[in-house]
Amino acid sequence: MPRALETLDDVIQQLERGQISAIEAIDMLLAEEITLRESRRIKAALQMARLATIKTLTGFDFSFQPSLDRNRIMALAGLDFINRHEVVHFIGQSGTGKSHLAAALGVEAIRAGRSVYFSPLADIIESLTKADREGRLRERIRYLCRSQLLIIDEIGYLTVGAAAGNLFFQLVNARYERGAMILTSNRGFSEWAEVFGDPVVATALLDRLLHHAVVVHIEGASYRLRQHADLFPEALHPKPNAVPAANTPRRRGRPPKNPDANTQ
- Tell if the pTM clears 0.85, that is, is over it: no
> What tens digit of pLDDT does each residue of 37-66 get?
888 888 898 888 988 678 999 999 998 888
Tell how strand 149-155 and strand 116-120 pair up: parallel
CATH fold of 51-228 reads Rossmann fold (3.40.50)
Q: How far apart are CA 127 and CA 123, in angstroms?
A: 6
> What tens digit of pLDDT does each residue of 66-108 get?
889 999 999 999 999 999 999 999 999 988 999 999 999 999 9
pLDDT at res. 64: 87
Give ∠ CA 93-94-99 in degrees, rounded to 5. 105
Q: How far apart are CA 128 and CA 131, in angstroms?
A: 5
For the chain, give the percent of residues with pLDDT over 70: 83
Neighbours of 250 (CB within 10 A): 11
- Spell out the domain ranges in the chain: 2-42, 51-228
